[in-house]
Structure 1
Amino acid sequence: MEYIKLGRSGLSVSRLCLGTMNMGTPDWKPWIFDEARSEPIVRHALDQGVNFIDLADFYSTGVGEEVVGRILKRLTRRHELVLTTKVGYAMGQDVNNAGHSRKHIMDAIDGSLSRLGTDYVDIYMLHYFDTTTPVEETMDALNDIVRSGKARYIGVSTMTTWQLAKIMQVCERHGWARPINMQLQLNCAYREEEREMIPYCQDQGLGVSVFSPLARGLLTGDFNSTRNQTDFFTQQMYGDEASLEIARSVHRVARARGVSAAQIAQAWVLRHTGVACMLVGADTTAQFDSALAALSTDLSDDELYELERNYTPCDLINDYTAGKRIPRVARPARVDYDNLHLEVV
């Protein structure tokens, strides 16, 4: 396993971060694993050197934190882990049980700590940018949580660059704890964060951790998986022809290499100069191992061209642009991977 300092902080994290959205209860979504099915995956990730675990109170509406918390307590010691959880999405029907108000943030951190069975989280993250709450109120509350010891650091996720800049300005102005981590979506089929967000994070000293490196499973080449058939967000985000062509390019390069499409797609993310860590949401230990192999997978110039040639700009993927993707047109191929002659050794 490789380790890296997250942003300009002194916090050392594994370059592979175990994503846990698929752990909790299938009552929430049909592709979620229960505790018994989740434990072997968590155990394998820990055995391979992962110390970075990503959660959110929203996952399985709290059950995800309970399940993963119990598993981690059985398998390892708390001080050896870097736990991050997120706040923002609705946890119930009450009008104050969502968003980034002081009331909800203060209630939510206590709820997460109770479900996880720990006194603190290492990084407490905003799940998105709440446009209905003053930034000052949100960041003041997060600063108080850090000062109280309930979180060691704070982080952010899924927002525009100007929104992050607003957060950073407010923290600078008041001397509050600044985010050390930006969790964003990046993969061969979605690269809009390369334009402004990643360079801004590099400039401001935030570590970038990437989720959905496989485009919610699209880049594995398994278009008929349970998640692809039941998760309507996949269709909204990656239902255009350009995304499908990118998936086919990933498959071509993987076939020529004799490795899985997932390994190639993950290698593309991990080689990105602006990326500190990559989240791995594995359904099997073998899927986790493909990410581990991707850490040492180099890509040639021709392979990179094939992976990137279909990409054209699109709308940002966030809470405000769902269903508004721009139709995209691919560039022609430079290497005919479909008819590439492979020598048999």
Structure 2
Amino acid sequence: MEYTTLGRTGLEVSRLCLGCMNFGSDEPWMVDDREQSHAVIERALDLGINFIDTANVYSRGESEAILGEALADADRDRSELAVATKVYGPMHDGPNGQGLSRKHVLEQAEASLERLGLDYVDLYQIHRWDDETPIAETLSALDRLVEKGMVRYVGASTMPAWKFSKALYEADLDNAERFVSMQCEYNLVDRHEEANVLPLCADQGIGILPWSPLAGGFLTGKYDREEEPAEGRAATNDFMDKRFAEDGWAVLEVVRELADEKGVTPAQLSLAWLLHKPLVDAPIVGPRTIDHLEDNVGALEVDFTDSEIERLEEPITPVWNPDIGDV
């Protein structure tokens, strides 16, 4: 395994982050089998992955609980792990059930720690921007969590660059805890963030943690242009529809060709492209099985020439569209 520091911090994280959204029972494509989930997490630790990401909203806390159980069973040195979770999404019906108010952030941090069985998380992230709550209030709550030792670093996820810049400015103005990382959708067919938040992150030294690095499985090559998807997210979730456009298929054609030339899988090639982006710290992979996980880790061995990267990127010109899908 290879390691890097997260943004401008001194926190060392593995070049691949294990995402835990697939562990739970909220959707038919998730791994509703605790033993299988635990096995994938333990194998990730064995492979040297020390960076693990989840969120309170994933299966309404079930993902955090599964991760907590797996970490307890694995009995690893806590000081070597970097555990991340997120807050914002709906956790119960009625008032104060979601968002980034001081009340919700503080309550959900305690609930997440209880489910995870941990005294602190290394990275606590706002899952989305909250238009109803002043960012100063959210920053104050995050500051409090750091002061109490419940959180080591704070991060953000999925928002327009102008909103994220407001958060960074407010943190600097109030001498509040500053966001050190940004989770954003980023892969070979979803490159819109190159025209949005990535330039800001480059300027401000913010670490990038791409989610959906394989475009929901599209870049694994398991789908065919002439066939309707029969499994996975694509069969049940219209979030995948944007990937089945002409430019997406054009990218996938190049991915398949180049993967064959190099003797690697399309998934390894697609992850390797992200790993070669200087701004990217750790793509968040979401393997459902140990085989998928081990295949993902193989991406660390794939190298490119400049012309090969140009070939992969040629079919798409990145454009920012604020109405692009959500997760």
TM range (shorter): over 0.9
What is the CA–CA distance in structure 2 between the aligned matches of 1:215 and 1:38, rounded to whole Å? 21
Matches within 5 A, 1:34-49: 34-49=33-48
Q: Which residue matches 2:244?
A: 239
Query: Taking every aligned residue pair, what percent have the same amino acid on both sides?
Result: 39
Q: Which residue matches 1:131?
A: 131
Structure 1, unpaired ranges of 5+: 324-345
Aligned pair partner of 1:227 in 216, 230, 233: 233
What is the CA–CA distance in structure 2 between the aligned matches of 1:102 and 1:43, rounded to whole Å? 35
Superposition deviation, residue 276 in structure 1: 1.1
Q: Which residue matches 1:285?
A: 290
Aligned pair partner of 2:30 in 29, 32, 47: 32
Superposition deviation, residue 78 in structure 1: 2.5
Superposition deviation, residue 196 in structure 1: 4.4
SS in 1 for 2:143: helix
SS in 2 for 1:216: helix
> Quick one: structure 1 residues 271 and 142, their matched pair in 2 at CA, closer, same or farther if it must change by over 3 Å?
same
Q: Which residue matches 1:335?
A: none
Checking the alignment, whether the CA contact within 8 Å between 2:101 and 2:133 is kept in structure 1 is yes
Matches within 5 A, 1:129-278: 129-223=129-223, 224=229, 225-235=231-241, 237-278=242-283
Answer with 1 or 2: which has the greater Rg.
1
The one-letter amino acid of 1:234's match is M
The one-letter amino acid of 2:60's match is T
Checking the alignment, whether the CA contact within 8 Å between 2:255 and 2:312 is kept in structure 1 is yes
User: Deviations for 1:24-74, whole angstroms, at most 9, x for unmatched residues?
Assistant: 22xx10111121111121111101111100010011111110011101111
What is the CA–CA distance in structure 2 between the aligned matches of 1:161 and 1:63, rounded to whole Å? 31
Structure 2, unpaired ranges of 5+: 224-228
What is the CA–CA distance in structure 1 between the aligned matches of 2:190 and 2:324, rounded to whole Å? 14
**Deviation above 3 Å: which 4+ runs of structure 1?**
313-316, 320-323
What is the CA–CA distance in structure 2 between the aligned matches of 1:24 and 1:226, rounded to whole Å? 14
User: Deviations for 1:193-221, whole angstroms, at most 9, x for unmatched residues?
Assistant: 22342232122121111111111111111
What is the CA–CA distance in structure 1 between the aligned matches of 2:271 and 2:95, rounded to whole Å? 39
Q: Which residue matches 1:114?
A: 114
The one-letter amino acid of 1:36's match is E
User: Deviations for 1:304-327, whole angstroms, at most 9, x for unmatched residues?
Assistant: 2332121133443x6x4449xxxx
What is the CA–CA distance in structure 2 between the aligned matches of 1:105 and 1:65, rounded to whole Å? 16
Structure 1 residues 260-269 or 301-310, which shifts more?
Answer: 301-310
**Please, what is the CA RMSD of the aligned residues?**
1.6
Superposition deviation, residue 265 in structure 1: 0.6
What is the CA–CA distance in structure 2 between the aligned matches of 1:305 and 1:12, rounded to whole Å? 30
